[in-house]
Amino acid sequence: MTADPPSISDYALLSDSQGSALVSRGGSIDWACLPRFDGPSVFGRILGPDAGHWRISPTEGAETQRAYLDETMVLRTEFRTPSGAVALTDAMPLGQREREHRIGRDSPHAIVRVVEGLEGEVELEAEFVPRPEYGLTTPMLLPHPGGLRTRGGPRAYVLSSAVPLDARDGFARARFVIRPGKKVAFALRASSPWEDLEVAWTPDEILWRLQETIEAWRSWSGMHEGYRGPYQQMVRHSGRVLQALTYSPTGGVIAAPTTSLPEAVGGTRN
């Protein structure tokens, strides 16, 4: 791609209180650091067109609306096309049954993406282009039970996909059709290249982990609803953003989700 990336203000933040990702209005994850905020990126297209991304979006033009689910850092983007409408829900899952101030302690270092049909029939394209180390590495994409795995770079990644992917030359693509009531689930997990690879999550497990993450964020929000006054919703959401920028194992707060970028690399987009 040769087009300039969106403005940095166009991105929405995902976090599991250990790592982070940025999602554009067009459904593209153009920044992600797993498993930690200060690790090198696996997707870094905010830096340049060849630094990696993971896009899920309609194949035809679409009007877009998005918002975080109430009291969470789980993002829902609705695409409306001439043929129908779909919703894309994105999250970085929290640990199993984590609640209140314990959220983020045992995050599985993953990103989950669920597409749901709302109206009509919509064709979507998934494009998975990992480029570890700020785009310096083009890993091999190899078959893995339930999806794909990467080989190359400082970490391995396992992609769970409910649809078949055509992988070649460091790119993986798929086209699929969504109808009302149908869901298609994806997940990306960080793994160690020197140990047994993580097992790909099943669609049911991805949906369960997404629901667990929604409940975990709402349990945290429920402890911090004391403020009532002007801009109440914005004030409460700013608290969730601050928690999203907190490294849970230590309680340290990072300056920005792109804080791992050296100044010479990140420039004005850090």
25 in any annotated domain: yes
**pLDDT score for 57:** 97
3-state secondary structure of 268: helix
- Outline where DSSP puts E strands in 61-109: 63-68, 75-81, 84-91
Residue 135 has phi, psi (to 5 degrees) of 90, 5
In a domain, 238, yes or no: yes
32 part of a folded domain? yes
Would you state the pLDDT for residue 259? 65
114 in any annotated domain = yes
What are the 10-residue block averages of pLDDT along the chain, 270 residues in total? 67 96 96 92 93 96 95 97 97 91 91 98 98 92 94 90 94 97 96 81 97 95 80 85 92 83 50
Q: What are phi and psi of 227, to 5 degrees?
A: -75, 130
End-to-end CA distance of the chain: 22
Cβ proximity of 92 and 82 under 8 Å? no
Which domain range does residue 32 map to?
8-269
The domain that holds 137 is classified in CATH as 2.70.98
C-alpha span between 18 and 66 (Å, rounded): 24
Within-domain flag for 2 = no
Per-residue pLDDT at 225: 76
Q: If DSSP codes are grouped into helix, strand and coil, which group holds residue 57?
A: strand
Q: Does residue 128 fall inside a structural domain?
A: yes
Residue 3 lies in a domain: no
Q: How many domains does the chain have?
A: 1
- Residue 148 within a domain: yes
